[in-house]
Amino acid sequence: MLQLKVKIIDYGFSDSLKRYYVTYKVTGLTGEELNKLEGLLEDPITIKGNELYMNVYFEEEYYPFGTGDSKNRLEDYLAREELEMTAYLLDLLEDD
């Protein structure tokens, strides 16, 4: 049983890069799955032990936490983004 878990650990605007970002921490992956994702993901990633950290950068209009509604319902927006990333990663892992 896959134990993949995605958690948003940081988000905001990077002054140095002049871009919006979301940082995801992905746990519960096997070494084989980590290697596979490392080869497939285009976003900058870091692997520490069996944890994968991924930065995803957004143009302002696509940044998921840039609306007034997202500020009022932040927990909902965080949960939705985590679910979407989980589905995306599972999809990558299932494709052979």
Query: What is the DSSP code string of 23-82?
Result: EEEEES--HHHHHHHHHH--S-EEEETTEEEEEEEE-GGG-TT-SHHHHHTHHHHHHHHH
The per-residue pLDDT for 2 is: 62
Element (DSSP H or E) covering residue 89: helix 74-94
pTM score, whole prediction = 0.91
The per-residue pLDDT for 23 is: 97
Could you tell me the mean pLDDT of each successive run of 10 residues in the chain, 96 residues long?
88 95 96 93 92 95 91 94 96 84
The per-residue pLDDT for 43 is: 87
Name residue, tokens 């596979």. Answer: 36
Alpha-carbon distance of 42 to 48, in angstroms, equals: 18
Closest to 8 measured CA to CA, from 91, 64, 90:
64
